[in-house]
Amino acid sequence: MKHILDSDFRYRPSFDTDVKKTFEKIRRQQIHAKEQQQAKDRQAKAHPESQVRVLKLDQLKKASTS
C-alpha cells in the first residue's frame, strides 16, 4: 500500500475515483493471491520431504499431549 509521503503517491479526488474499477482490481488481486497459494500447496504436496513444519512451543505441547 502506498503511503501519502511516498513519492509515487498521487492524490485522486473522490469524484475521479471509479469504484467499480477499484473493486475489480481488488478482486483480481485476491484471485491472483489464491492461485499463488494453490500452486504453493500443490508444490508442497508434490515434494513433502522439502516441506518444513515449525511449531510454537505451545503447539508442540498440545501435539504431544493428544
Residue-wise pLDDT tens digits, 10-62? 888 989 889 999 999 999 999 999 999 999 888 878 876 766 677 788 877 77
| b/e code 11-25 from CB counts within 10 Å (16+ = b) | eeeeeeeeeeeeeee
The domains of the chain are located at 17-65
CB 3 within 8 A of CB 9: yes
CB 63 within 8 A of CB 55: yes
Q: How far is residue 32's CA from residue 36's CA, in Å, rounded to a whole number?
A: 6
DSSP state of 5: T
pTM over 0.75? The answer is: no
